[in-house]
Structure 1
Amino acid sequence: MKRTYTILALLVMTMVSLAKEKVNVKYLEEMELVSVVAHLADVPGYNWDKQYVLGEYLNDVDSCFAPYKRHPAVEFVRKKLEPHGFSWDFPMAVARRFSIVNGKIVYKKDLVAGYSDYYKRISKANEKKFLALLQKFYTDSRFQKFYNNHLPLYKECEEAMQTMVDKIDFGWYDRFFGPKQYCEQNVFLGILIGGANYAVHNKKSVKGMDVEIVDAVMGCCSRKDGRIYYGPEYTLPIIIHEFNHSYCNPLNEEVWEKISDKATELYTPN
């Protein structure tokens, strides 16, 4: 295990430099909406206690949305979606497939359907019903007011994380793995994600070309001296890890049948 940590440390030191490509950090209303519903439904990955989630924010969420604990959107997630894979990274994958425009949930029509086995974890019928119920939750709970009231906190999170992201040389990925011709990289935040962090992948069509969208969705938010804080010792390795998924996972899937037995043998003891 010591050797593993040494390799990881070397990787981080290799990548931490003056970033040659700007990757922006964003806090999205769509992701926070889905996170809140997942939290109310007690979905794994969104049900952290105050040890892992900013206590003041968790209190606000629980108090503001307590009347909606049994809302049809929450019940649908709890009974229909979560048992079939709606947990951990997947709620964020769903959130990336729609936009909120003037208070209305609008499905993104430029996405390449079925990328990354998306529809293995939710049927198209259930996705459509969930978005309709999510719209009802958004309206009924006056979610936009809650989100707007917390914009200063979200902005502080963005600024704190941006200082971490700016330390990473994202050009390293193309130099090491080989270039992706059309690729969009993003870092998104979610306080309710707590101690978890996710990689989310999509593709969209732009003027007939497929553009891969590589997202790192980060939690791990805390305070230091009263300010939002993301410690570099744990934040930088996690960001690098999440972006690695978009390169390593396709390689893994390509050769999995040949390596699965030995990979399982090596992985299990650790």
Structure 2
Amino acid sequence: MVKRISNMFEKTYKYVLIILFSLSFMLTYGQRNQIMDRPKVDERIEMLSIVFRLAGNREYNSDVFKRYVDRINEHYGPFEEHELITFVNKIKNENGIGYDAVMSMAIHLDDKFNLKQKNIDETLDRRWSRTNALQFVALLKKFYKDSNSKRFFQDNRALYNEVQKRFLPIYEHIELDWYPKFYGKKPSEKFLIVNGLGNGGGNYGVAIKNPAGHKEVYAIMGTWSMDSLGMAQFPLQHYFPTLLHEFNHSFVNYLLEKDTTIFRDSGEKLYSAVKEKMNRQAYGSWQTMLNEALVRAAVIKYQKDHHFSSEEISKETNEQLDRGFLWIEQLVDELDNFDRQRDRYPTLENYMPVLAKAYQSYAADISSLDATFEERRPKIISFDGIQDGQTNVSSMLGELKINFDKPLLGQGRSFRGISKESFPIIKGHRYSPDKKSVLIDWELEPNKTYEIIITRNAFRTADGIPMKDHYLKFSTK
């Protein structure tokens, strides 16, 4: 009898543990889903990406995911002259519609491609006028029907499911609890992750208010890495920082909106110093730049708090320095200072006046910050057997040796031509043992002028600092 009771107790105990574990999982998963939806492929995103691909927008014409792009070209090639595409070409040239404006329109459509008109004036990107938006949607619905897009999406459902499955580990890796702890507030927005299959390296953050008046923030993640079979893959080290970046926007963007005046002087001075780099990233104002700087510093803060390797943190930091956020290291230090004073500053919002004072010092030091970083860049110090502008190079020169002042990472090569005719035949490359030189095997023709841009993509230090692009011109005899 005692043994039977013991067995019953043991079974009951196991059931209780299973139920408690299940409840814990459901609560955790439910809380995660309340903050951030599982990643998915969204037909609205794909449809708009395809339309602007057909219209020739460079940012929507990546062919990295060739398996998918080939299907797009095969299905939609006959519709390049559709009246929708003609209309898009007109309004994009007149109003600069591209990049995130395209994705903004996508999330302002319902699943039947009807425009959510209540949101037009409030959250739709301002490059869309109401008139253009309404006409675009009318033509889009016609295009969807004429091109039998329903069949295209049905035919690619298995591909979409596989992409979603492959991205899931990135989503599961993020510790969502860190955000309200660090910022001192819970997110007021719902965060949604969408995989943009045809967007290449383009990532976009756009937002809309749902019918209840709550903001939904979309992180539309590009697809730029393929496995050996040409299928999309999502290496953690490449995609995770981007996802961290986009989620930080949910906590950061409102902070400057509260009071821009305390940052204006320093923001304008910093923006003036790095305007060219910011414009290349479509950051057209000092306010946007400061938002981006804080978001990027918060990514590094997350990495530090989660004990990322020093190499990973250094690489992320140097990437931001190279992008023009020359005060990023000091800003990360300031976030550490904030985190050490949480009894005095419960939220980052409370700390913004202190941050504004720190920004005054960044603005005062911007010239020295710039000079310090430029000194860390690898630089070409010489070429063996050739000089810039030389007009009598031997066409028998079968090798170009490029010498740098610092050791490089030593992986790959990156060149760009001015034209196909002026670019040499490159057959291979190898690095010197100390990685301070790279030897390029090439073929030259006599009596010909060559123009080559040696680019930053591959030629960078081990901690990720790239060279500046170098233009090389010479002629053979």
Same fold per superposition (TM over 0.5)? yes
Q: Matched residues in 2 for 1:44 and 1:176: separation?
A: 38
Give the superposed CA RMSD: 2.3
**SS where residue 32 of structure 2 aligns?**
coil
Task: For residues 38-59 of structure 1, give each alpha carbon's deviation from its aligned partner in whole angstroms, at most 9, with x where no partner exists.
Answer: 10001242022x3xx2111111
CA separation of 1:112 and 1:72: change in aligned 2, threshold 3 A = closer
Aligned: 1:89 with 2:100: yes
CA separation of 1:112 and 1:180: change in aligned 2, threshold 3 A = farther
Ranges in structure 2 where 5+ consecutive residues have no aligned partner: 1-27, 278-323, 325-477
Count of paired positions: 242
Aligned: 1:47 with 2:61: yes
Q: Matched residues in 1 for 2:58 and 2:43: separation?
A: 20
Q: Matched residues in 2 for 1:138 and 1:249: separation?
A: 35
Q: Matched residues in 2 for 1:221 and 1:154: separation?
A: 15
Normalised to the residue count of structure 2, the TM-score between the two structures is 0.47
**SS where residue 115 of structure 1 aligns?**
coil
Residue of 139, 147, 154 corresponding to 1:141:
147
Greater Cα shift, 69-78 or 125-134:
69-78
1:130 to partner: Cα distance: 0.3
Ranges in structure 1 where 5+ consecutive residues have no aligned partner: 1-17
* Aligned residue number for residue 237 of structure 1: 241
Task: For residues 237-269 of structure 1, give each alpha carbon's deviation from its aligned partner in whole angstroms, at most 9, with x where no partner exists.
Answer: 011112223333333454253432233155358
* Aligned residue number for residue 267 of structure 2: 260
Normalised to the residue count of structure 1, the TM-score between the two structures is 0.81
Residue of 82, 92, 103 corresponding to 1:71:
82
Q: Which has the larger radius of gyration?
A: 2
Q: Matched residues in 2 for 1:83 and 1:173: separation?
A: 40
Task: For residues 112-169 of structure 1, give each alpha carbon's deviation from its aligned partner in whole angstroms, at most 9, with x where no partner exists.
Answer: 45335x3521101100000000001100000110111011111111111111111001
Residue of 224, 229, 244 corresponding to 2:227:
224
Q: Matched residues in 2 for 1:57 and 1:33: separation?
A: 13
Greater Cα shift, 168-177 or 251-260:
251-260
Kept in 1, the 8 Å contact 2:40–2:193? The answer is yes
Residue of 128, 131, 135 corresponding to 1:129:
135
CA separation of 1:83 and 1:218: change in aligned 2, threshold 3 A = farther
Kept in 1, the 8 Å contact 2:120–2:130? The answer is no
* Aligned residue number for residue 46 of structure 2: 32
Residue of 152, 155, 160 corresponding to 1:154:
160
Residue of 246, 249, 253 corresponding to 1:249:
253
Higher relative contact order (CA 8 A, sep 6+): 1
* Aligned residue number for residue 195 of structure 1: 201
Task: For residues 25-77 of structure 1, give each alpha carbon's deviation from its aligned partner in whole angstroms, at most 9, with x where no partner exists.
Answer: 111111111110010001242022x3xx2111111111211111111111111
Q: Percent identity, aligned pairs only?
A: 27
Give, as a single letter, the amino acid of the residue that structure 2 aligns with 1:39: R
Greater Cα shift, 55-64 or 135-144:
55-64
1:225 to partner: Cα distance: 4.8
Greater Cα shift, 170-179 or 135-144:
170-179
CA separation of 1:214 and 1:172: change in aligned 2, threshold 3 A = farther
Kept in 2, the 8 Å contact 1:44–1:88? The answer is no
Kept in 2, the 8 Å contact 1:199–1:243? The answer is no
Kept in 1, the 8 Å contact 2:223–2:232? The answer is no
Kept in 2, the 8 Å contact 1:73–1:133? The answer is yes
Residue of 163, 169, 186 corresponding to 2:175:
169
**SS where residue 126 of structure 1 aligns?**
helix
Give, as a single letter, the amino acid of the residue that structure 1 aligns with 2:99: W
Q: Matched residues in 2 for 1:246 and 1:114: separation?
A: 21
**SS where residue 98 of structure 1 aligns?**
coil
CA separation of 1:249 and 1:262: change in aligned 2, threshold 3 A = farther
1:174-189 paired onto structure 2 within 5 Å: 174-180=180-186, 182-189=188-195
Aligned: 1:107 with 2:118: no
1:81 to partner: Cα distance: 3.0
Q: Matched residues in 1 for 2:86 and 2:244: separation?
A: 35
CA separation of 1:83 and 1:72: change in aligned 2, threshold 3 A = same
Kept in 1, the 8 Å contact 2:65–2:223? The answer is no
